[in-house]
Amino acid sequence: MKAEEAVQLMTKSYLHRVIDSFTKDLPKGDEEKSRNLILKNLDELTDPDRISTVLGFEGIYSDQILLRGILEALVNAPGYVLSEDAIVEAVVEDQLTIIANAQQPDCLRYESATAVDVFKAVLEVALDDDELSSSELRLIHKLREKVGLSERAKKLILAQMNNYPRTGNSVHSHSDFKDALIDLQRRGVVMYCNKLDGGVYVVPEEMVAAIRRALDIELSIAAWSQLLDSLGGSHLSTILEQTGLPKSGTKEQKRDRIIAVGTQPTAALSILSSQDLYEVCSSLPGAKVSGTKMERLDRIIDYFANLVRKEISSEATPGERYYQYYSELAARDRESLLTNKVIKKDIEMERAFEEGTRYLFTERLGLLLLEFSGNDHPDGGFQFRRSDDILMWDNKSKETQYDFPPSHVKQFKRYIRDSEKRVSCFMVIVPTIDEDKCEENALRLKVESGQDTDVALIEAEDLVWVAENWREFERKGGFDPEVFNHTGILNRKVLTQRMKLFL
């Protein structure tokens, strides 16, 4: 979820917490003014340097552990969204797992005994007053890397010292979580969308990369797992052997072993040869294969860091699966679509985009679709409630902005004029919109249609937003297609106004 969408789902007091993270001087005003103030300052709010600064945790170490744990849970969650209960469950489960594992005599068997002893001695001194300054944290971080210990090993050592996540190895309470979540909101890295699903916490998409860098998280667990799945069994065996881990077992067991001991992606891939990394790059749709070993390594990590991935039930229908990747289908994001096995070949992209649209209109908006005869017709249509007039739509996927070319004006004009019923609105669904060119040709098509047909353009992401949020505006029962009956660009502001009016 982007920050622009998140702020629409927040009321005044939660908006004020975000504003406090970047200014205390400007008057906040009412809900709408507060929302606009955040949107005007998005560049500052999402600036990586600001995020790095506000995540320079200091103070009681157990509090720092909790703040980090919450952020890790959120950046590892699908869509970077979780309820408070889900956050508590994820963080506490991780804490209890570390405490339980630390009691096993061989939990650090793959770590250097000397490195563990040195690191433990430094931690004992640093934690003498239960507080760590930013300089002490930097020292501990550098020492951990220098002696070759993972973040997981650090947690296990703290638990063996009876100090994870708090003194006495006691887990954090619900009140601790509430305080920490408020703290993260005031730092401007977490937003509380109290209007969505009874209230959920969100890390805006624009902040995820900067938060990962600040916390030294190269990849989310899901992305790291997916990267390891892309490697061959021999590659995994090489990584395991060079890191002193058993290389026996299935490919899945090897992958899980690498993740379990906390091996970082850069460290693991550095073990492989340049030729190995060439082979990995060759297997990734759209990835370049040229360059030095380090360039290939960085390219592989960036590929999986930026790869869109969704949590979809194994029982989901093809239409639902396409709907989940709707924006990626519109933008022809072949890397995400092929790697996540949404499609098998590029040629399937248009059909999947169309099928995802039909799913959206039927299953999410509850509309009854029309059937068109012959081969020369739009991708779909449905009837308006108050007349026999219809809406036609056409999908136009594109890797760049859609600029409404003259050939499409001619194509859509033919669809409108050949229709047996009056076409009240023709809607074009695209990835992103060149506003000047699209507005001009939308007006031209309206005039030349001969039926005074409204011509609307909507970005796929905004159409999904309507499908997910229209019930919040519903007062009259069901979705009214009049929401789309408009000439011009159907952006969030226009759609909000029309849903307030017609729903």
Residue 22: pLDDT band (50, 70, 90) is confident
The residue-averaged pLDDT of 258-271 equals 86
Q: Alpha-carbon Rg of the chain, whole angstroms?
A: 26
CB 390 within 8 A of CB 357: no
What pLDDT was estimated at residue 329?
94
Whether 304 shows a pLDDT value over 90: the answer reads no
The residue-averaged pLDDT of 66-73 equals 93
Question: Which of 203, 173, 165 is CA-nearest to residue 187?
Answer: 203
Distance CA 422, CA 269 (A): 61
What pLDDT was estimated at residue 26?
65
Residue 425: pLDDT band (50, 70, 90) is very high
Percent of the chain with pLDDT over 70: 98
What pLDDT was estimated at residue 331?
94
C-alpha pair distances (Å), 230 with each of 176, 183, 224, 453:
39, 38, 10, 50
Count the neighbouring beta carbons within 10 Å of the beta carbon of residue 428.
Answer: 25
Q: What are phi and psi of 93, to 5 degrees?
A: -60, -40
Give buried/exposed letters for 364-397 (b at 16+ CB in 10 A, else e): bbebeebebeeeebbbbbbbbeeeebbbbbbbbb
pTM (predicted TM-score):
0.70
What pLDDT was estimated at residue 132?
67
Q: Which helix (H) or strand (E) holds 382?
A: strand 380-383
242 against 137, higher pLDDT: 242
Question: Which of 392, 46, 331 is CA-nearest to residue 188?
Answer: 46
CB 339 within 8 A of CB 284: yes
Q: What is the pLDDT of residues 123-177, one digit of tens each?
A: 888 877 766 676 777 788 788 878 878 788 888 888 988 888 988 899 999 999 9
CB 445 within 8 A of CB 455: yes
The residue-averaged pLDDT of 229-255 equals 88
Distance CA 420, CA 362 (A): 23
Which architecture characterizes domain 368-502 according to CATH? Answer: 3-Layer(aba) Sandwich (3.40)
> How high is the mean pLDDT of the chain?
89
Let me know if 493 is exposed, middle or buried by CB neighbors in 10 A (0-12, 13-18, 19+): exposed
What pLDDT was estimated at residue 25?
67
CB 102 within 8 A of CB 160: yes
Vertex 68: Cα angle to 63 and 74 (nearest 5): 130
What pLDDT was estimated at residue 167?
85
CB 402 within 8 A of CB 495: no
Q: Which helix (H) or strand (E) holds 186?
A: helix 174-186
Distance CA 314, CA 295 (A): 36
What pLDDT was estimated at residue 479?
93
Let me know if 349 is exposed, middle or buried by CB neighbors in 10 A (0-12, 13-18, 19+): buried
CB 62 within 8 A of CB 130: yes
**Could you tell me the two tokens for 97?**
């797992």
Domain boundaries, the chain: 3-214, 221-306, 368-502
Amino acid at 497: Q
**Could you tell me the two tokens for 190?**
């977490």
The residue-averaged pLDDT of 367-384 equals 91
Q: What is the pLDDT of residues 322-356, one digit of tens each?
A: 999 999 999 999 888 988 889 988 899 999 999 99
**Could you tell me the two tokens for 231?**
């490697």
